[in-house]
Amino acid sequence: MFLTITTTGTTEHPATDLGFLLHKHPGKAQAFATSHGTAHVLYPEATDERCTAALLLEVDPVALVRRGQGKGRGGTPDAALGQYVNDRPYAASSLLAVALSSVFRSALKGQCAARPELPERALPLRIEVPVLPARGGPELVQRLFGPLGWASVEAVPVRLDAEFPEWGDSRYVRLVLEGELKLADALRQLYVLLPVLDDAKHYWVAPDEVDKLLRAGDGWLAGHPEHQLITARYLSRRRGLTRDAMERLELVRLAEADGSEVEEIDNAVDESQDTEERPVPLAVQRRDAILAALRAAGAQRVLDLGCGQGQLVQELLKDVAFTEITGVDVSMRALTVAARRLRLDRMGERQAARVTLFQGSLAYTDKRLAGYDAAVLSEVIEHLDLPRLPALEYAVFGSARPRTVLVTTPNVEYNVRWESLPAGHVRHGDHRFEWTRDEFRAWAGETAGRYGYEAAFLPVGPDDPEVGPPTQMAVFTLVNDSESANESPKEGKAA
Ligand code: SAH
């Protein structure tokens, strides 16, 4: 079974750049051992104008059978013979998809250490899979690849026997995709859609397949008109997994539709290290730090102000020490996603009694915010225009007045350490400002003083000796309850 990837180029952008992208030198033929045979990568042509890489998987059918995984769907009526005579060695299937992902691992992730700018470029691509099993035929191939940005999708049925056309077509097609796409996008599509078209997997589909699907489907699957069929087939129609994946895709769609996109750069998992131990995402470290500070303060009734999609609320619910949890956000979209994430509609009565979500703006005082032990503002203040900030200060510290207030915000000094962040950029398009450690301390100190609080500061994430931690957190504790709760904000009373 094999596939070829061809690109064309110029002197300025030679086609042989493909070798950098695939991390495989065009001058060499290489072989890699995989669990089901040997994968070969070779370049039938490699000039500045045109370069083709071929991935050829030599499957060991006997090894497949020994592993008890060689039973293709349908096949010959003679089961015993079927173990040895089947299409697995020849047809592009999940075996090829797995080989693709292990041999071209970095390319799939869009990583190219030698030429970091290359993966971002859309290339003129031609991908050919000569024998692709397609349950659903050429028509389904069109429906699957059609919406994915290819200029042309060609799926020609392969005759059962070239000499006897009257025998008709086999269930295989010859697939040719042509268009300008990023190589990583093309490879991730194939990784998912080859086994989907084959509609069979050579291995047991475990729950982590949902993660793999969502990772490979990032950017194209959620909005694909056939996402349901793709998801069900990819997960071998395992119902629980399919439902789980469909729900997560729904969240992705809602987040994509939401202007106030909440996935921030520092929430992303850094997958650059191929080690077993993934670094803990900053968003998780932030939630852990918040939970620890809330526990230290002995808080039971907690407000999550600007709760976004409800990740913190979800964590708070897991600890019965938090008896009442209220999430507030100005974005109805975000609240809808949060409600789904928490499965509010399916929650038992006692859990449901602990949690409330409502829409509100922190730029206005709100009676519903009174009477809580603690309020959290996690990555929220930087979303307000600076002139509106005093109104938020008043609404939270002056009017709601919980004993403890936790505020986290990016430390702009750390931005030079984010490799993916161009110099001088903020971490998220909606950030109105990002502060240095000094600026944050000055703001927190002044606000605490004005409303009768004391402020302490904690780093979140690795505390860099030069630039400090990626996230800074202030813990405000109410010290002077008699301090005028009615003092008006600097720029006049909000609302
Ligand atoms: N607290 C979450 C979300 C941070 S994103 C987290 O730590 O991941 C910032 C959130 O603040 C968004 O959901 C946005 O809708 C909300 N927000 C921005 N301005 C707001 C305002 N004036 N009132 C209430 N929520 C606001």
Q: 327 and 198, same structural domain?
A: no
| pLDDT for position 163 | 72
Q: According to the model, what pLDDT value does residue 91 have?
A: 57
Expressed in angstroms and rounded, the spacing between residue 439 Cα and the centre of ligand 1 is 21
Distance between CA atoms of 240 and 346, rounded to whole angstroms? Answer: 16
Output the residue whose Cα is nearest ligand 1's atom 23. 361
pLDDT of residue 417: 84
Mark which of 182, 204, 226 sits at the end of a domain.
204
Are 440 and 309 in the same domain?
yes
Dist CA 131 CA 4 (whole Å): 12
Place of tokens 């997960």: 235
Angle at 214 between CA 213 and CA 217, to 5 degrees: 80
| CB 343, CB 243: distance < 8 Å | no
pLDDT of residue 80: 45
What's the predicted TM-score (pTM) here?
0.54
Residue 331 CB–ligand 1 contact under 6 Å: yes
User: Is residue 185 located within the same domain as residue 148?
Assistant: yes
C-alpha 22/C-alpha 335 separation (Å) is: 42
For residues 160 and 237, membership in a common domain is answered with no
Same-domain status, 200 and 211: no
Which pLDDT value is given to residue 67? Answer: 56
Closest C-alpha residue for ligand 1 atom 7: 378
pLDDT of residue 64: 61
Tell me if 382 CB under 6 Å of ligand 1.
no
Whole-angstrom CA distances from 375 to 54, 354, 361, 411, 477 are: 57, 16, 14, 21, 11
Summarised one tens digit per residue, pLDDT across range 385-413 is 898 899 999 999 999 999 999 999 999 99
Residues 235 and 257 in one domain: yes
Q: Which of 278, 306, 332 is the last residue of a domain?
A: 278
Q: How many domains does the chain have?
A: 3
- Are residues 241 and 192 part of one domain? no
What is the domain extent for residue 182? 2-204
pLDDT value of position 86: 54
Whether residues 177 and 106 share a domain: the answer is: yes
Burial label for 374, CB within 10 Å (0-12, 13-18, 19+), is buried
Tell me, using a 6 A CB cutoff, whether residue 380 lines ligand 1: yes
* Same structural domain, 437 and 334: yes
Instruction: From 282, 286, 330, give the residue whose CB has the most ligand 1 atoms within 8 Å, as the site to mutate.
Output: 330
Output the residue whose Cα is nearest ligand 1's atom 9.
Answer: 380
User: How far does residue 329's CA lie from ligand 1's centre (Å)?
Assistant: 6
Q: Are residues 44 and 144 in the same domain?
A: yes
Nearest CA to ligand 1 atom 15: 331
CA 253 to centroid of ligand 1, rounded, Å: 19
Question: Would you say the C-alpha torsion 237, 240, 243, 244 has a positive or negative sign?
Answer: negative
Task: Verify whether ligand 1 is closer than 6 Å to residue 471 (CB atom).
Answer: no
pLDDT at 433: 93
Residue numbers of the chain with a pLDDT score lower than 50? 69-85, 259-276, 485-486, 490-495
The span from the first CA to the last CA of the chain, in angstroms, equals 68
Say whether both 314 and 188 belong to one domain: no
Same domain, residue pair 290 and 235: no
pLDDT at residue 493, rounded to an integer: 41
**pLDDT tens string 417-433:** 877 676 777 777 678 89
The verdict on the CB of residue 310 being under 6 Å from ligand 1 is no
Please tell me the predicted confidence (pLDDT) of residue 248: 80
Question: How far, in Å, from the CA of 353 to the mean position of ligand 1?
Answer: 24
110 token code pair: 């869009």
> Does residue 329's CB lie within 6 angstroms of at least one atom of ligand 1?
yes
